[in-house]
Amino acid sequence: MNISSTKKYKQLRLSIAAALCLGSPLLPGTAAAVAAGSDAQKVAPPSALSAKIDSKAREIESKLIAWRRDIHEHPELGNQEKRTAKLVADHLRSLGMDVKTGVAVTGVVGVLKGGKPGPVVALRADMDALPVKEQVDVPFASKATGTFLGKPVDVMHACGHDTHTAMLMATAEVLASMKDELPGTVKFIFQPAEETPADFEPDGTNTWGAKQMIAEGVMDNPKVDAVFGLHVSSSYEAGKLYWRSGPAMAAADQFWVDVKGRQTHGARPWQGVDPIVVGSQIVMGLQTIISRQSNLALEPAVITVGTFHAGNRMNIVPEDAAMTGTVRTYDEGMKKDIHQRIKHTAESIATSANASAKVKVVELYNAVVNPPDFTEKMGPTLRRVAGEGNYDLQPKSSASEDFSFYQQKAPGMFFYLGVTPKGKDLSKAAPNHSPHFYVDESAMITGVRAMSNLAVDFLSMK
Ligand SMILES: [Zn+2]
Ligand SMILES: [Zn+2]
């Protein structure tokens, strides 16, 4: 996840990491500011249970931190979260919930039935870690190793999913303590592999994480009426909340371009077809899809060619060149259009040079879009939880999140929780996915209060 922005307009750090999940915010515009202000900065009045939520959260804060440290010290890669899943499942059972395990490989789902009738709200956390070697000097730093795509790797919770899991465990405990007073049902979703699984690469036929949880029925029985999720971010000060209405995080898609030329001697290129030169033209051509052909006044978009492989010797024109890349978009129509143009551009450039290009585009994650009416309804709760001066408009992020798939099944809202210690220069804070990614644990109680209050306020709405 993540790269950083301090105050809304001050910085722009674009860096599209290979990994998914959070990323750099793009410059927010006037339209965005208007959208975020559309609910007129309303603050919800305290609910019947909000004081109780706050005191219960405070009461279990030391447990929350202990869970987070334990999970942090024992990170597990996507679809391998066995230890974490057991910790979660044991905890949910101890709270008296119906618990399902092994959902989408290692996912855990707990259902808390309130004492009064009402709707169903889902709260979601992700449990997976990343192939990163931790460089943070804390006593509970990870020394864990794992296997990623067949290779041994060090493993670290460099995206903060350890905090998400711990915060949702604490939220479960808070809400279970007021079970009889809850007007409806709360579903706790602990999903694996948000960052993709450790044992396979996406190829357009496989599913994982949120998508697989949904395929296995997590949004049904009982049917979920609303869903909430959060992500910790180094871009913001510890304990502050950020969100936006409408497109908030980009869709992420992957493409492959395989160029076939004709091999020849490097001294006599006219006797063959050079796939490196053709491939290079394709790289440049793809950039003009964004700069010359996409309506950037509608939404921004990014194409990045991340790998380019060809040849094995300086004086041989090789037969083939192969590249892969990522596309980030916020608008579904623009996304489909860009996919078409990638294919057309690569194939046409290759044809013009008597080469050929095979293009494959696979949709990975949809854009995270917070529905404006739903965001307007729930924003006042987040403002009450954060308190004056502790929330703001989230700039668009060009990274991605598979929370987007839950949002296709029910109204859903995704927001950010800052975790960089107060007073630290936010532009220098190590971003999510960095081996130096650091979490100020004092922020986590705000995450627990936010999730608990969102659940209760949603259930209480008529
Ligand atoms: Zn991430
Ligand atoms: Zn993440």
Summarised one tens digit per residue, pLDDT across range 225-245 is: 999 999 999 999 999 999 999
In the chain, pLDDT over 90 holds for what percent of residues? 89
Higher pLDDT, 400 or 27: 400
pLDDT band at 461 (very low <50, low <70, confident <90, very high): very high
pLDDT one-digit tens code per residue, 413-423: 999 999 999 99
Consecutive H or E run containing 208: none
Cross-sheet strand order for the sheet of 183-191: 98-103, 107-113, 183-191, 116-126, 226-237, 412-420, 241-243, 391-393
Q: Give the ligand whose atoms come closest to the C-alpha of residue 229.
A: 2
Q: Give the ligand whose atoms come closest to the C-alpha of residue 403.
A: 2
In the reported structure, the alpha carbon of residue 19 is separated from the centroid of ligand 1 by a whole-number distance in angstroms of 7
d(Cα 74, Cα 76) in Å, to the nearest integer?
7
In the reported structure, the alpha carbon of residue 20 is separated from the centroid of ligand 1 by a whole-number distance in angstroms of 6
Q: Give the ligand whose atoms come closest to the C-alpha of residue 132.
A: 1
Q: What SS3 state is found at 437? A: coil
In the reported structure, the alpha carbon of residue 212 is separated from the centroid of ligand 1 by a whole-number distance in angstroms of 18
What contacts 7, CB < 8 A, 6 or more positions away? none
224 and 187 Cβ atoms separated by less than 8 Å: yes
The number of angstroms, rounded, from the C-alpha of 253 to the middle of its chain's C-alpha atoms is 14
d(Cα 359, Cα 201) in Å, to the nearest integer?
17
Range with lowest mean pLDDT among 17-21, 180-184, 320-324, 362-366 = 17-21
pLDDT band at 41 (very low <50, low <70, confident <90, very high): confident
Question: For residue 411, is the peptide bond before it cis, meaning its omega torsion is within 30 degrees of 0?
Answer: no
Strands (E), 41-192: 98-103, 107-113, 116-126, 145-148, 151-154, 183-191
User: Residues 297-304: what's their mean pLDDT?
Assistant: 97
In the reported structure, the alpha carbon of residue 117 is separated from the centroid of ligand 1 by a whole-number distance in angstroms of 37
- The residue type found at 361 is V
Q: Which residue numbers are catalytic?
A: 365, 441
d(Cα 328, Cα 255) in Å, to the nearest integer?
11
Of the candidates 204, 245, 250, the residue with the CA atom closest to the CA atom of residue 372: 245
Q: Is the pLDDT of residue 1 over 80?
A: no
pLDDT band at 28 (very low <50, low <70, confident <90, very high): very low
